[in-house]
Amino acid sequence: MNNNVFLKTKKEAPKDETAINAKLLIKGGFIEKLASGIYLFLPLGWRVHQKIERIIREEMNRLGAREIFLSALQPVSLWKKERIDSMKDILYRLYDSSKREFLLGPTHEEIISMVGKVFIKSFRDLPFSLYQIQTKFRDEPRAKSGLLRTREFIMKDLYSFHSDKDDMEKFYQKVKNSYLRIFKRCGLKVLVCEASGGAFSKEYSHEFMVRTEAGEDKVIFCKNCNFAQNFEISSLKENQVCPKCKKEKLKMVKTIEVGNIFKLGTKFSEMFDIKFIDRDQKEKFVWMACYGIGVGRLMGAVVEVSCDKQGIIWPKEIAPFLVHLITLKSGERKIDKRIEEFSKKSYQTFLKEKIEVLLDQRDISPGEKFFDYELIGCPFRIVISKKTVQKNKVEIRKRKEKEPKLVSLSEAIRILKS
Amino acid sequence: MNNNVFLKTKKEAPKDETAINAKLLIKGGFIEKLASGIYLFLPLGWRVHQKIERIIREEMNRLGAREIFLSALQPVSLWKKERIDSMKDILYRLYDSSKREFLLGPTHEEIISMVGKVFIKSFRDLPFSLYQIQTKFRDEPRAKSGLLRTREFIMKDLYSFHSDKDDMEKFYQKVKNSYLRIFKRCGLKVLVCEASGGAFSKEYSHEFMVRTEAGEDKVIFCKNCNFAQNFEISSLKENQVCPKCKKEKLKMVKTIEVGNIFKLGTKFSEMFDIKFIDRDQKEKFVWMACYGIGVGRLMGAVVEVSCDKQGIIWPKEIAPFLVHLITLKSGERKIDKRIEEFSKKSYQTFLKEKIEVLLDQRDISPGEKFFDYELIGCPFRIVISKKTVQKNKVEIRKRKEKEPKLVSLSEAIRILKS
């Protein structure tokens, strides 16, 4: 084994990719493009994806939401109620061998409504919330921003069911806080932005926006009080005084939407006739809300805002590995044996300490290995070489700092765990 | 909270389901049918699915295989090489808005071949193996066996790449052993059955078969030496003497295929021109093999062979919960308070001990709760009632045994952990 993760970097980014996230992720061997808007996740990229998924799962479970898994194939008949028209431009539709028409789910409001309809009978069945981390399909016309806008992607979608508006509002606030924790753990600063209820509701929905020039969305934003409104729905203009704090002029900034939350109200329960018998024995419509995070898009957004000319700078909790361990040969047989032994011992020690290590023992030049380390962007680099083994030490460096330090293995572990 | 897992059992199984697995899983609130061959996984069912996934991941990682995630959408152009004809009856095909034709992957040999082609250059790049746990689509004409034959399902597919036949053979044997561990951990006894190379190879492939009358496959089988051959390709007949041990007459048995492994040889590398420069500087074709397990089908097979008239009997490692904790009220206020406190304390203690507990505090009759316990089929039932709290004990019973025991909480924990 010369590396432990299918380490496959490229010298050049593909010419047809213009987005920074696509260039760096493909060069670094995280993803590979199959067709416009369709990417394959290689082991490095999938590790990052799974770490984001894990954070999301932890936060969803903390809300008391339960995980489910709905199908991608959805009968078109269910969609005839409404969204078949409003979403028609991005729907993939197909027929099975019995000539029944299906579509590939761009989201799952219709299907979860069916689940609600089957299982909700009384107020005792409410409230509850269900989420999935599952593949969505959207035939995007502008799929040219790497992971920011793809035709097939994994989304976390959460749906909540309530007996009245008040209960829905309370849970909506909880989810908003949960989303802020998720993005923070992923190393992202987000604006909470008022947006259109869209196909769903007349009230504001909320979008979680990451500021970057790579963004396709525009937001009117107050840097004093963090008031933010999606430009598409805003009646406000740039340089106007903030209507909330009245202290600062509004700016227009470009953003990437990494999450959104919608109050569905009784829209879907009226459409699908989802009712329950309340404590007062009256039949009422169920209140619903839905909440989405595009996992791949979140990953792409992190790369856009956390990189330098050399490559990616992964936030600690979603880095593919905490440490990139580079072993350099000296050319002197006896010393190389010591380097090998010391590397093996260090690697085993890290594993025992539950520190995740990318082990790079490939037979290439030190320069190439250092180049790949910067490109891949793990939080720490550790080098074991002639210089370090002669002092019985390792060289440790943070991705964001330029000065390496010579430290003992136990000191390195202390630094990595702090 | 009256239960902690969206506990939604049904009194009756749906009339249109004939398979035992579908009846029990739908009645128990594990899955819900959306359309023919398309099922939704509810929280209880998804827990079981995820536990099987976890076992598979552990065993794949132990092999040194790395996890990836490939797209469901595949350009039909890649398939024009061959399988577009041999698999045409079960392919879902569709066009995007630019009139490009795609299909929904029934497996991923074509796509993984593209990955191999991009990244394999020299013998130094070999061997490696990649796997995914990802959704497959097959337009099955006979989708009427619950989870045993569905149109959309999650499959673990592993692909290995080698520099020569010998290396491929060695890895193939390793995977065979890995599969046997996976099925054993899932509580399944399997026959390793010789089968056709099918679309892939002239050599035997191997199928992992579970014996049950619900199976759609037929196998010629020797109960003395475990020789097994798929009836479809076998030249052997029932009651003939076993050609291997020569000691026993062959029987024909019905089975469910839960996994299969194929030596692809150089078939796909020749088709896609996947070559590498070997140590001898010569250009050679890469050797490949592929290995599949249908996760949902495995789950369905477990239900078929591990149930009784009352419901499912989950093997320990894939049970949705280890313990089903039932709290019964007495109707006497003071005692009910003690029952509630004791239940709370027990539940917290279980969580602290990392014992997974389904908590059933629903306001229904004891009979209904016991009925649901048998249907859902967790390995242990614990009851807390007036009778038990008066002795400061809990009542514990195994799903397969009929006699409950009154024990202290700490003794219960000892039993659950043994």
CB B95 within 8 A of CB B103: no
Give tens-digit pLDDT for A33-48.
999 999 999 999 999 9
Task: Assign 3-class secondary structure to B66-81.
Answer: EECECCCEEEHHHHCC
CA distance B293 to chain A (A): 18
CA distance A36 to chain B (A): 10
pLDDT confidence band for B1 (50 / 70 / 90): low
Give tens-digit pLDDT for A324-371.
999 999 999 999 999 999 999 999 999 999 999 999 999 899 999 999
CA distance B138 to chain A (A): 10
Question: What is the Cα–Cα distance from A75 to A104, expressed in whole angstroms?
Answer: 9
pLDDT of residue A197: 74
pLDDT of residue A201: 54
CB contact under 8 A, B100 and A35: yes
pLDDT of residue A82: 78
pLDDT above 70 covers a percentage of chain A that reads 98
Of B5, B38, B102, the CB nearest to A71: B38
Question: What is the Cα–Cα distance from B93 to B102, expressed in whole angstroms?
Answer: 6
Instruction: Give me the sign of the Cα torsion angle B181, B150, B321, B190.
Output: negative
Question: What is the Cα–Cα distance from B222 to A273, expressed in whole angstroms?
Answer: 57
DSSP state of A377: -
**Those residues with Cβ within 8 angstroms of residue A143's Cβ, 6 or more apart along the chain or in another chain:** A36, A37, A149, A150, A151
Chain A positions touching B40 (Cβ under 8 A) are: 68-71, 111, 115
Q: Considering only residues A14 and B350, tell me which one the structure prediction assigns the higher pLDDT.
A: B350
CB B135 within 8 A of CB B153: yes
- CA-nearest residue of chain B to A150? B71
Chain B positions touching A137 (Cβ under 8 A) are: 72-73
Q: Considering only residues A290 and B141, tell me which one the structure prediction assigns the higher pLDDT.
A: A290
CB contact under 8 A, B75 and A34: yes
Q: Compute the count of residue pairs across chains A and B with CB atoms less than 8 Å apart.
A: 130
Question: What is the Cα–Cα distance from B388 to A349, expressed in whole angstroms?
Answer: 49
pLDDT confidence band for A1 (50 / 70 / 90): low
CB contact under 8 A, A74 and B34: yes
Chain B positions touching A38 (Cβ under 8 A) are: 71, 73
Structure-token pair, residue A410: 């136990």
CB contact under 8 A, B40 and A135: no
**Those residues with Cβ within 8 angstroms of residue A246's Cβ, 6 or more apart along the chain or in another chain:** none
Chain A positions touching B151 (Cβ under 8 A) are: 73, 96
> How many helices (H) does chain B have, and how many strands (E)?
12, 21
Q: Which of A414, A374, A375 is nearest to A398 (CA)?
A: A374
pLDDT at B216 over 70: yes
pLDDT at B202 over 80: no
Interface test with B, best of A7, A73, A117 (most B CBs within 10 A): A73
Name the E strands within A222-342. 228-230, 251-265, 275-277, 283-285, 287-294, 323-327
**Average pLDDT estimate for B22-48:** 97
pLDDT at A86 over 90: no
pLDDT at A202 over 80: no
CB contact under 8 A, A139 and B5: no
Question: What is the Cα–Cα distance from A285 to A270, expressed in whole angstroms?
Answer: 7
Structure-token pair, residue A292: 């989405």
Of A43, A50, A152, the CB nearest to B73: A152
- CA-nearest residue of chain A to B76? A35
Chain A positions touching B66 (Cβ under 8 A) are: 5-6, 43
Burial class from Cβ neighbours inside 10 Å (0-12, 13-18, 19+) for residue A412 reads: buried
pLDDT of residue A337: 95
**Average pLDDT estimate for A373-394:** 97
pLDDT confidence band for B201 (50 / 70 / 90): low
pLDDT of residue B164: 97
**Average pLDDT estimate for A258-276:** 95
CB contact under 8 A, B46 and A38: no
Measured over all CA atoms, what is the biggest interatomic distance in chain A, rounded to whole angstroms? 86
pLDDT of residue A228: 95
pLDDT at A387 over 60: yes
What is the bridge-based pairing of β-strands A287-294 and A152-162? Answer: antiparallel
Give tens-digit pLDDT for A277-332.
999 999 999 999 999 999 999 999 999 999 999 999 999 999 999 999 999 999 99
Question: What is the Cα–Cα distance from B291 to B259, expressed in whole angstroms?
Answer: 8
pLDDT at B147 over 90: yes
> How many helices (H) does chain A have, and how many strands (E)?
12, 21
DSSP state of B242: P
pLDDT above 90 covers a percentage of chain A that reads 91
CB A9 within 8 A of CB A29: yes
CB B209 within 8 A of CB B190: yes
Structure-token pair, residue A347: 């690697």
Of B49, B75, B141, the CB nearest to A69: B49
pLDDT of residue B281: 97
Interface test with A, best of B40, B60, B155 (most A CBs within 10 A): B40
What is the bridge-based pairing of β-strands B66-67 and B128-137? Answer: parallel
Structure-token pair, residue B147: 């989870």
CA distance B284 to chain A (A): 21
Q: Considering only residues A85 and A95, tell me which one the structure prediction assigns the higher pLDDT.
A: A95
**Average pLDDT estimate for A68-92:** 92
Strand partners, B131: B67, B158
Question: What is the Cα–Cα distance from B121 to B113, expressed in whole angstroms?
Answer: 13
- What are the CA-CA distances from residue A244 to residues A166, A191, A250, A356, B298 (Å)? 24, 15, 10, 46, 57
CB contact under 8 A, A69 and B89: no
Q: What is the average pLDDT value for chain A, to the nearest integer?
A: 95
Structure-token pair, residue A263: 């109050």
Of A66, A102, A114, the CB nearest to B6: A66
Structure-token pair, residue B281: 């500087």
Q: What is the average pLDDT value for chain B, to the nearest integer?
A: 95
**Average pLDDT estimate for B326-353:** 95
pLDDT confidence band for B144 (50 / 70 / 90): confident
CB contact under 8 A, B139 and A35: no
**Average pLDDT estimate for A173-186:** 98
Structure-token pair, residue A76: 């078109």
**Average pLDDT estimate for B224-247:** 94
**Average pLDDT estimate for B231-241:** 93
- What are the CA-CA distances from residue B246 to residues B46, B193, B233, B243, B249 (Å)? 45, 18, 20, 5, 8
pLDDT of residue B196: 85
Domains and CATH numbers, chain A: 20-305 (3.30.930.10), 321-417 (3.40.50.800)
Give tens-digit pLDDT for A122-166.
999 999 999 999 999 999 988 889 999 999 999 999 999 999 999
